[in-house]
């Protein structure tokens, strides 16, 4: 399995708000604090409970993002074992151009953790 480099630090936690099967795959929607969500972008990556994942959509009005787990990944990671309402650890990264064509400099984010906000628009997928 591939993915981005995972540092193993936790920038914050999120709460699983929905888990919807689609064929052999599983859609997972996570609510996160705005201070985390500001660094989450569609087609970007995030670490959820130690697993490097690709973000599919961001729902700013609900403070949520989602991702899909294919059958193979579901067998290798812990996220599918969780239930709606459970917490997950989140790690976010920002990359900045260093001036070299083949080099990215990683900027590790240290941010204060704020309580999660309630989803105003519901949790439907």
Helices then strands, each counted (H, E), the chain: 2, 9
Q: Nearest-CA neighbor of 64 among 95, 82, 94, 40?
A: 40
The class of domain 12-107 in CATH terms is mainly beta
- Give me the average pLDDT of each 10-residue run along the chain (125 residues): 62 95 97 91 89 93 96 95 96 57 33 40 41
* Amino acid 3: pLDDT: 56
């Amino acid at each position: 399995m591939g993915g981005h480099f995972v540092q193993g630090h936790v920038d914050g936690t999120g709460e699983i708000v929905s888990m919807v099967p689609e064929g052999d795959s599983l859609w997972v929607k996570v609510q996160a604090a705005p201070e985390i969500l500001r660094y989450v972008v569609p087609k970007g990556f995030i670490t959820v409970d130690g697993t490097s994942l690709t973000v599919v959509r961001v729902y700013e009005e609900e403070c949520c993002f989602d991702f899909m787990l294919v059958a193979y990944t579901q067998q290798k990671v812990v996220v599918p074992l969780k239930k709606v309402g459970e917490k997950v650890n989140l790690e976010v990264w920002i990359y900045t151009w260093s001036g070299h064509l083949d080099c990215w400099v990683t900027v590790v984010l240290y941010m204060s953790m704020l309580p999660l906000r309630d989803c105003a628009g519901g949790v439907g997928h």
